[in-house]
Amino acid sequence: MKNKILTGLSILFGFLMVNFGLNKFFNYIPMGEMSEDMMQIMGAFMTIKWILPLVGIIEIIGGLLIAIPKTRALGALIILPVMVGIFLHHLVHDIAGIGLALVLFAINIWVIVANWNKYSPIFKQS
């Protein structure tokens, strides 16, 4: 039962990451009203022209990988730095969005913990 719940959440998580990644290229999700602080942050992201496309590509690749059971462990590792950034951004700059960020971060951590045995070769000394 727990495995089915994790699979369902992983597919939902993957769909959301792919959706948010595609939005960085096609801008189909309207942005809400932003504070002055958020305007400065978004302006900085726009100044660094390569950062949002890079994050979008990582979200798309990680989202696709995490939705497929065979590649879920790799997808969780790929998307983890992006999730840390999203969580910290909402924690520091946009506390209103912390709920979804926290849920998605928890799903990502759950996938990593559930696949911990696949990461063990990384930590073995030769």
Q: Could you report the per-residue pLDDT of 97-110, keeping only the tens digit for each?
A: 899 999 999 999 99
**Global confidence as pTM:** 0.93
Q: Domain span at residue 57?
A: 2-25+35-114
pLDDT digits over 38-48, tens only? Answer: 899 989 999 99
8 Å CB contact between 54 and 74 = no
Buried/exposed code over 76-112 (b: 16+ C-beta within 10 A; e: otherwise): bbbbbebbeebbeebeeebeeebeebeebbebbebbb
Contact 86, 105 (CB under 8 A): yes
| Domain assignment of residue 122, yes or no | no
In the predicted structure, residue 70 carries a pLDDT above the cut 90: yes
Quick check: is 97 in a domain?
Answer: yes
User: What's residue 8's pLDDT?
Assistant: 97
**Structural domain tally of the chain?**
1
